[in-house]
Amino acid sequence: MKLFTNKTQRNAKLLRCAALGMTLIFFGAAIFMTDPVKLIVDWQISLSPHALLRKLWLVPPLDVYIMVYMFNYTNVDAFIAGTDAKMKVEEVGPYVYQEVLSNHNITLNEANNTITYTPRREYIFVPERSVGDPKIDRIRAPNIPYMGVSTQAASLSMFAALGLSALAKRLNAQPMLEVSVHDYMWGYEDHLVHLASKFVPSLIDFSSFGIMEKLFREGNESNVVNMHLPELKDAHGVNLPGSPRGYSINSINYERGFKRWEYDEATNGTQCNRIWGSHDATLFPRDMNEHDTFHIYRRTFCRLLPMKFNRTLNFKGLDAYEYVMEPHIFDSELHSVNSSCFCKNNHCLKRGVGNVSPCYYNMPLAITYPHFMHADPSLLKPFEGLSPNESRFTSTFMMQPQLGVPLHVHMRLQANQVVGNIKFNRLMEPFENLVLPLLWVDLTIENLPLSLQVLVHALKTGFPLLQLVVSLGLILGGLYQLSAALLLCFWSPPAGMHKSEHGEKATSVLGALAIGASLHKSLPAECVQPEVQQPLLDENAGKLEV
C-alpha cells in the first residue's frame, strides 16, 4: 500500500513539473515573439484617446526658449549726415522668452488618418536668463513700417510717391526710432501705421507694430492645422504604399501650400511653395535613418526649412542624430524650380537673403542667418560690429531616431529690413538698397525635462531590457521544470534510498521468519505441515540470499 502511494505522488509531481514547464516556456516564447512592449509603446506613442503621447502633446512639457538679440544702431545721426561711411551696430541681448504651447479643438479624422487642432503659443519673459529689463533698456533701430512704405513707394506713380513722402514728413516720421526693447519687439505706436489702418484696413489691420509680435504671434489661436497620424501598416507591420510620413503636416487653414508663393493645388506645388510633408517641430516620425531629411514649418519663416543629417552621436546616454540647416537654404534663383517662387517680379534678393514679405503685409522683410553668415559678402560692407561665426550661428537639431523625440535644438535666424530704390525721400536716401539687420533669435531646447528623460530612457532601453529578462526568465524556468519532470520520469531513486527500502523489507522478512521459527519449535510435531512450510522457507531463503 505504501509503495502504491509513493508512486502516485511521484506521478502527480511529474505532471505538475511538466505542465508548469510547458506553460512557462509558452509564455516566455510568446513574449519574445510578439514583443508586447513594442505593441504597448506603439499604442502609447500615438495621438489616440487616453494615450500617453496625446496627454503630453496637449500641453508639451518641453522647455522651449526664444533668446532674442537686438541690434542697436549707435551712430545713426553721423551716418545720415554723411560723417560716418558705415553704420555701427551693437548686439544687445539676450532677452529670453519661454514659449508655452498648448493644442486645442482636437478632432480625429479616421477617414484619412489625420488629426485637426489649433495650436496656441504664449510668450513669457524670463528675467533670470536675460541681460536686462526690455521695458527699461532702449535702442535705436529701423522704423520698419516707415522704411517699408518708403520702399514700396518706388513702385508707385510719381504723384503717389510725392504724396506719400509729404504725408510722412507731415507726420514727422523718421527712418530710425529710439524706443524700448519691449516696445520694438511687441508693439509701438506709429502715426503712419495708425493712419494706414484707418484708410486701408484691408491691407493693414493693426494700429501698432512690433517685430516679434508679427514674427511669432501673428495668426496665433486662429490657425487650423491638419496633421497626418503615424503611417498605416499591413499585417506584417510594413508601411502601406503611399502612406504620408507620420506627424507630417497635411494642411494649414485648409491650404496645402503657400498661395502667396503661387502654390498650385493641381500639381502639388514644389519645394518652394508647399507646406504639406513638413513638420511643426513638436512631433517627428519614428524610426528615422541616416538618409532621412525633414522640413520644419513655422509661419515665422514663411517657407520650409530643410534639415539634413550631419552625424550620429551619443547625447546623455541616448543615441542621437544631429541635423543641420545647410548654408544655401535662403538662396533664390530664377532658374531653380525649388526657389524661383521667392523671386517676386523676376527679382531675386542677394545670396543668403530669403524674402518673407508676402507673409507680412508685403512689407520688405527678409530672413538670413545671424550676422549675414553664408550670405553675399557685400551685405557686411555697410556695417561695423557684425561678425559671422559658424560655431555660434549654425542651426542644429538633435533627434532620438527610434522615438522621434527632439533632444537638443538651436534654430538661429535673423530678421532684416530690405530697403530698395528710394524716390522723393531725402531722409531715406542713405539707406537705399541696403539690408538692415533688426534682430536675431535662437529658438532653443536645451534639454528634456527630467520626467521626459526618464520616460525616453525607459522606452528606449529600460522596458525592452525588462521584457527580455522576463522572457528569458520564463523560458529558463520552464526548461528547469521540464528537466525536473524528466528526472522524475527516468531516474531511479538514489542508492541510499534503495538500500533503506530493501533493509526495511529484509528486516520485516527476518522478523517474520524468527517468529515462525519459534512457533515451529513450540508447536507439536503433528501441527507442522512440511509441504506448506518448505516452499515458504525456500522462497524466503532465496530472498535472503539476494
Q: Which of 365, 356, 380 is nearest to 420 (CA)?
A: 365
- How far, in Å, CA of 34 to CA of 235, rounded? 13
C-beta neighbour count of 247 within 10 angstroms: 23
State residue 218 phi and psi, 5-degree precision: -60, 125
- How far, in Å, CA of 263 to CA of 350, rounded? 23
State residue 275 phi and psi, 5-degree precision: -105, -40
Mark whether 404 and 479 lie in a shared domain.
Answer: no
Give domain status of residue 298, yes or no. yes
> Which of residues 448, 481, 497 is at a domain's end?
448
Q: pLDDT tens, 464-500?
A: 888 888 888 888 888 888 888 777 777 655 554 544 4
Mark whether 140 and 46 lie in a shared domain.
Answer: no
Give domain status of residue 377, yes or no. yes
- Output DSSP code: residue 314: E
Going from the C-alpha of 255 to that of each of 67, 225, 249, 250, 301, the distances in angstroms are 31, 9, 11, 8, 17
Q: Is 487 within 8 Å of 493 (Cβ atoms)? A: no
- How far, in Å, CA of 370 to CA of 437, rounded? 9
All three cell numbers of 234, joined, read: 499591413
Q: Is 413 within 8 Å of 369 (Cβ atoms)? A: yes
- How far, in Å, CA of 145 to CA of 203, rounded? 13
- How far, in Å, CA of 388 to CA of 73, rounded? 18
Instruction: State the helix-helix crossing angle for 144-152 and 191-199, rounded to 10 degrees.
Output: 60
**Residue 171: per-residue pLDDT:** 72
**Residue 141: per-residue pLDDT:** 95
Mark whether 286 and 430 lie in a shared domain.
Answer: yes
Mark whether 333 and 352 lie in a shared domain.
Answer: yes
Mark whether 157 and 176 lie in a shared domain.
Answer: yes
Mark whether 382 and 251 lie in a shared domain.
Answer: yes
Give domain status of residue 539, yes or no. no
DSSP assignments along 208-270, one per residue: EE-HHIIIIITTTTT--EEEEPSPPB-TTSPBPTTPPPTT-EEEETTBSB-GGGT--TTTT--
Give domain status of residue 482, yes or no. yes
**Residue 66: per-residue pLDDT:** 95
**Residue 259: per-residue pLDDT:** 86
Give domain status of residue 246, yes or no. yes
Mark whether 415 and 472 lie in a shared domain.
Answer: no
All three cell numbers of 148, joined, read: 517699408
Mark whether 299 and 206 lie in a shared domain.
Answer: yes
C-beta neighbour count of 216 within 10 angstroms: 23
**Residue 536: per-residue pLDDT:** 41
Give domain status of residue 384, yes or no. yes
**Residue 213: per-residue pLDDT:** 86
Mark whether 222 and 323 lie in a shared domain.
Answer: yes
Structural domain boundaries enclosing 262: 62-448
Q: What's the length of the chain?
A: 546
- How far, in Å, CA of 47 to CA of 229, rounded? 7
Dmax (CA) for the chain in angstroms is: 162
**Residue 126: per-residue pLDDT:** 96
All three cell numbers of 140, joined, read: 535705436
Across the chain, which has 546 residues, the per-10-residue mean pLDDT values are 59 80 84 80 79 88 94 94 94 95 92 92 94 96 86 71 71 86 88 63 65 77 87 68 86 90 86 90 84 86 90 88 92 89 88 90 91 96 94 92 87 94 84 95 87 77 83 86 78 53 44 44 42 43 38
Mark whether 153 and 26 lie in a shared domain.
Answer: no
DSSP H stretches of helix in 326-446? 390-393
Mark whether 308 and 339 lie in a shared domain.
Answer: yes
**Residue 491: per-residue pLDDT:** 67
Q: Indicate the number of domains in the chain.
A: 2
- Output DSSP code: residue 143: -
Beta bridge partners of 313: 320
Mark whether 69 and 54 lie in a shared domain.
Answer: no
Q: Residue 22, class by beta-carbon neighbours within 10 Å (0-12 exposed, 13-18 middle, 19+ buried)?
A: middle
> Which of residues 489, 508, 540 is at a domain's end?
489
**Residue 49: per-residue pLDDT:** 84
**Residue 219: per-residue pLDDT:** 59
Please list, in sequence order, all residues whose beta carbon lies within 8 angstroms of the beta carbon of residue 444, skipping any fewer than 6 positions away. Answer: 64, 65, 66, 67, 409, 410, 411
Give domain status of residue 545, yes or no. no
**Residue 39: per-residue pLDDT:** 78
Give domain status of residue 525, yes or no. no
How much is the pTM?
0.80
